[in-house]
Amino acid sequence: MAAQHQPGEIIDNRYRILHFLGQGGIGTTYAAEHLETGEKVALKAVSLCQVDDFKVLELFEREARILAQLDHRAIPCYVDSFQAGKRRSRVFYLVQQLAEGLSLAKLVEMRWHPDEAKVRQIAERVLEILVYLQQLTPPVIHRDIKPENIIYRADGELFLVDFGAVQDVYHHTLTGGSTVAGTYGYMAPEQFRGKTVLATDLYGLGATLIFLLTRKPPTELPQRKLKIYFRSHVRIEKRFCNWIDRLIEPVADDRFLCAEEALAVLQGKPEFDRQTSTPQTRRPTNSPITLINDRDRLLVEIPPIWLRSPHSRLFALFPAIIDGFLLLMLWITAISSYVLTPVGSIYISIYGLFGLGLFVQFLHSSIFRLVFKTDVNEFALQRYFFRWCYQTVQGRTKEIIEIELQPIGLSMNKDPITVCTLRCRLRQYRFGCFLTEMEKEWLVAEVREFLANSRESIVKK
């Protein structure tokens, strides 16, 4: 995609193009300024007439959606996204805070040669960003860690940019990852199969560090058993060399589990215990939920919540207040012999129905038992009142697009209240709103892992 705009050009009557910044995998990026505020921004543009694969637009929309949720000082802030132009020549724009500085690739091109201490510092800074991304729910994988996407400032601060290949783990593992995104030489081997894990970004980081130390792209270095061989090209401390070597293992399981472990080991701390600590969400203590995973079949049984969780107690409070106020009004009306007007009767009836509806919704989510079961072929979601199954939803497992936590628009202690959402091709199914957030995160992670393993076993067969 060639550059579409020239310096001085006005976009959407809001932004003036300053100069060309770079060409990414799914768009052209410019430095621009807001006409009213004078704020400097990075403006990424994707032209509809230049897109030969609509997967590009899907990646672009996903980048905007995920960036809007991120909040980290080393990730340029999301500002806006919009469309401009006529139907056939429409251009999609993404606006971010402008990251001041030069990319690591540009610095090396200008004969910058950082020493081992500086490279180690860069590694720590990037890992801190990856730890933040991987601890989100769901975890976020950048998928394109490379020198061009790390902006380094003169004071030592750096920024991670170009989230055009970004993917959230739940969506990626459940859809099978048909889109291969990344940059050759910095892509982990599993990316060529359309698969990503938490350790995927570690490979890109390792290849980037090797580039800084050798001033050569990974593709120009020799390989041994499909692994970049760089040791004879660098003179660094053995422990640091071994640490980088671990990042670029061709098999993801041979790398560190996640960015948090890689950072801990770099800082001299012990590796995680594989038996007791994993990057996945673990079962909350004292949870009454039954979960059975025998590899071929997953069974989840959620007993009645009642008032066990803070969420259920909060939702029980609403109908109690509304219905209590209604009863008080009726009692005052009765003892005062006041005759309600027709309009007053209508208002009280609507108010009463609203309170009754909230109460029924509370009962629906708190006193019934829910069973979710799935195997490689089919899934079923069932709701029980004691032993009576009053609702059953069935479908093909391959129709499941993703499972995620969706906010419902309410919060408790400033944390959003979410609901487990099973998204299929034609519709989506929600459950577990009254569970604790830890229980919901654990359930989503378990179901996601089972479905990912099921799809992988089908492919191997």
Give me the pLDDT at residue 97, please: 92
pLDDT at 274: 57
Is residue 245 annotated as a catalytic residue, yes or no? Answer: no
398 pLDDT higher than 60: yes
Strand pairing report for 78-84 and 91-97? antiparallel
pLDDT-wise least confident of 232-236, 363-367, 444-448? 363-367
Residues 6+ apart with CB under 8 A from 447: 298, 300, 372, 374, 403, 422
Q: 411 Cβ partners below 8 Å, 6+ apart?
A: 417
Q: Answer yes or no: is 341 within a domain.
A: yes
Q: How many beta carbons lie within 10 A of that of residue 274, not counting itself? A: 8
Residues 141 and 186 in one domain: yes
- Mean pLDDT across 102-126: 95
Position 449 in a domain: yes
Report the candidate in 23, 10, 210, 215 with the shortest Cα–Cα distance to residue 108: 215
Pair (422, 321) in one structural domain: no
Neighbours of 422 (CB within 10 A): 24
- 20 has pLDDT over 80: yes
Question: Are 40 and 160 contained in the same domain?
Answer: no
Residue 199: inside a domain: yes
Instruction: Please give the residue range of the domain that contains residue 381.
Output: 290-304+368-460
Point out the domain boundary residue: 61, 76, 97.
97
> Per-residue confidence at 202, pLDDT binned at 50, 70, 90?
very high
Nearest partner of 379 among 399, 403, 402, 397, judged by Cα: 397
The last residue of a domain, from among 97, 131, 155 = 97
The proportion of the chain whose per-residue pLDDT surpasses 70, expressed as a percent, equals 87
Q: What is the rounded (10 degree) CA torsion for 76, 82, 83, 84?
A: -90
In whole angstroms, give the CA distance from residue 191 to residue 201.
10
CB burial of 23-53 (b: ≥16 within 10 Å; e: otherwise) equals ebebbbbbbbbeeeeeeebbbbbbbbeebee
- Are 321 and 362 in contact by the 8 Å Cβ rule? The answer is no
Tokens 């990037």 label which residue?
126
Residue 276 in domain: no
Q: Once rounded to an integer, what is the mean pLDDT over residues 295-305?
A: 89
CATH of the domain at 34: 3.30.200.20
Stretch 183-188: mean pLDDT:
88
pLDDT at 191 (0 to 100):
87
Q: Which of 49-53, 180-184, 309-313, 376-380 has the lowest mean pLDDT?
A: 49-53
Highest average pLDDT, of 5-9, 52-56, 286-290, comes from: 5-9
159 and 234 belong to one structural domain: yes
Question: Are both 87 and 125 inside the same structural domain?
Answer: no
Q: Both 344 and 358 in a single domain?
A: yes
Residue 275 has pLDDT above 60, yes or no: no
Identify whether residues 26 and 140 lie together within a single domain. no
Same domain, 239 and 209: yes
Residue with more model confidence, 352 or 436:
436
Which one from 144, 162, 168, 201 is the annotated catalytic residue?
144
Residue 277 lies in a domain: no
Q: Which of 77, 97, 117 is the last residue of a domain?
A: 97
On whether both 250 and 120 belong to a single domain, the answer is yes
Higher pLDDT, 3 or 242: 242
**Is 19 part of any domain?**
yes
By CB neighbour count within 10 A (0-12 exposed, 13-18 middle, 19+ buried), where does 376 fall? middle
Residues 124 and 110 in one domain: yes
The pLDDT of residue 259:
94
Please check whether residues 45 and 153 belong to one and the same domain: no
Residue pLDDT, tens place only, 132-171: 998 886 788 898 999 999 999 988 899 999 887 665 543 3
Distance CA 212, CA 119 (A): 7
Asked whether residue 54 is domain-assigned, the answer is yes
Point out which residues pair with 300 in neighbouring strands: 291, 372
Match 């200008």 to its residue by tokens: 110
Of the two residues 441 and 381, the one the predictor is more confident about is 381
- CATH code of residue 380: 2.30.29.30
Same structural domain, 319 and 298: no
pLDDT confidence of residue 16? 95
CA distances (Å), origin 295, targets 21, 120, 177: 48, 41, 21
- Asked if residue 246 has pLDDT above 70, the reply is yes
* Tally of structural domains, the chain: 4
**Residue given tokens 């997953």 in the structure block:** 298
Compute the distance between CA of residue 64 and CA of residue 163 in angstroms, rounded to an integer: 9
Given a contact cutoff of 8 angstroms between Cβ atoms, the answer to whether 298 and 447 are in contact is yes
- The answer to whether residue 273 sits within a structural domain is no
Q: Residue 344 — pLDDT band, cuts 50, 70, 90?
A: confident
pLDDT computed for residue 88 by the predictor: 67
Least confident span in 41-50, 119-128, 171-180, 385-394: 171-180
For the chain, how long is the longest CA-to-CA vector?
Answer: 97
Structure tokens at 70: 């991120």
Mean pLDDT calculated for residue range 387-407 = 90
The whole-chain average pLDDT of the chain stands at 84
Whether residue 310 has a cis bond before it, omega within 30° of 0: no
- This prediction has a pTM of 0.60
The domain that contains 224 carries what CATH number?
1.10.510.10
Whether 81 shows a pLDDT value over 60: the answer reads yes
Higher pLDDT, 461 or 250: 250
If we measure between CA atoms, which residue out of 53, 45, 2 comes closest to residue 181? 53
pLDDT of residue 1: 43
Strand order in the sheet with 415-424: 400-412, 415-424, 428-431
